[in-house]
Amino acid sequence: MSITSVHEATTAPTAPGQRGEGHAAPRVSARASAWRHRLVTALFIGPAVLYMLLFFGYPVVQNVIMGFQHYTITTFFTGEAPWAGWSNYTEVLTSPLFRTAAANTVIFTVGSILGQFLCGLGLALFFRRRFPLSGALRSLILLPWLIPLIVASAVWKWLLDTDAGALNRVLIGSGLVESGIPWLSSTGLALFTVIMVNIWIGIPFNAVILHGGLQTIPQELYEAGSIDGTSRWQAFRHITWPMLRPVVSVVLVLGVVYTLKVLDIILGLTEGGPANATQTLATQAYQLSFATFDFGQGAAVSNILILISLLFAAVYLRLNRRPVDE
């Protein structure tokens, strides 16, 4: 065979049926790998999505529907819940108790968030330093957060009792007061007392999250600031606070959403009294549903509370998006 014939044989065109077979196998393999990846992802995410739909999505949807129905205790036996339209919302919004509960909710939320955040930030800054037993003290701070809320409320109710409470005994014994202070039975003190207890419970959450955020700030920034002669306040204002702002946004949003739905502490301490002085939207929804068994109006108050939480979270995150990006 000549050299020309060999060259023609090696450069001969591929038959139409055989063209591209060398590239088909990798292409099929890549598609199979992509499908396997999607299947594995679905197997991991599927149970979580199913759990969210069953235990979060369905209750929320059912609560929204219930807010437009005359849903009472007889509905559980008859299965009938007549459509009420907006009447549940109208009755709730026009009742004097709703205005009192809404005002108390604002005061309770703002007071709790301010106290928890300021105390938590102070503790986070304090524990940023290294000193003996600092780790043990940080662990002890978590105790209020770890104690079940109903247990904490029972303990505080005993401590704040007007006649036999430990706090009043200490105050009377030290001569600071002549008689026991009605911490939980006075309409002027009850809401303030509940706020103080809720601050005590929420401080660990704020302190731990803010302390974690402080650990991510590079120490070189403070060293450069000390070389330029910055004071502690200037270092906090120009270094710590701007770097900590994303964490602050998360803490405040979660704190407000959590505080709006606080129920255990108020029920355990005052049950919304005295004379509705500590009644909030969360306790009103609970009492409408499980005291008067008007589940339709209770669901309406709950839906209003959910809407307030969503609006606050959306507005706050929107307002803080640009400063955080900068």
Kindly report, residue by residue over 276-318, the tens digit of the pLDDT: 999 999 999 999 989 888 899 999 999 999 898 888 888 877 7
**Of the candidates 64, 59, 23, 119, the residue with the CA atom closest to the CA atom of residue 298:** 64
Average pLDDT over residues 1-13: 46
Q: Is the pTM of this model over 0.85?
A: no
Average pLDDT over residues 144-161: 88
Task: Give the whole-number percent of the chain exceeding pLDDT 70.
Answer: 89
In this prediction, residue 5 has a pLDDT band, given cuts at 50, 70 and 90, of: very low
Answer whether residue 268 shows pLDDT above 50.
yes
CA atoms of 311 and 294, how far apart (whole Å) = 26
Answer whether residue 26 shows pLDDT above 70.
no
Average pLDDT over residues 69-92: 87
- Which residue in the block uniquely carries the two structure tokens 């502690």? 232
What the block records as the tokens of 92 is 């709730």
Q: What is the pLDDT of residue 302?
A: 92
Q: What is the pLDDT of residue 300?
A: 93
Domain boundaries, the chain: 104-292+305-325
Which fold is adopted by the domain 104-292+305-325? Answer: MetI-like fold (1.10.3720)
The per-residue DSSP string of 157-205 comes to HHHT-TTT-HHHHHHHHTTS-SS---TTT-TTTHHHHHHHHHHHHHHHH
Query: Alpha helix locations (H) across the chain?
Result: 3-10, 21-52, 58-66, 75-78, 87-94, 96-126, 134-141, 143-146, 149-159, 166-173, 190-215, 219-227, 232-235, 241-260, 264-269, 281-290, 295-325
- Which residue in the block uniquely carries the two structure tokens 């998006």? 321
164-169, long-range: CB within 8 Å, 24+ apart, which pairs? none
Average pLDDT over residues 178-205: 92
29: phi then psi, degrees, rounded to nearest 5? -65, -40
Kindly report, residue by residue over 92-144, the tens digit of the pLDDT: 999 989 999 999 999 999 999 999 999 999 999 888 877 777 777 877 888 88
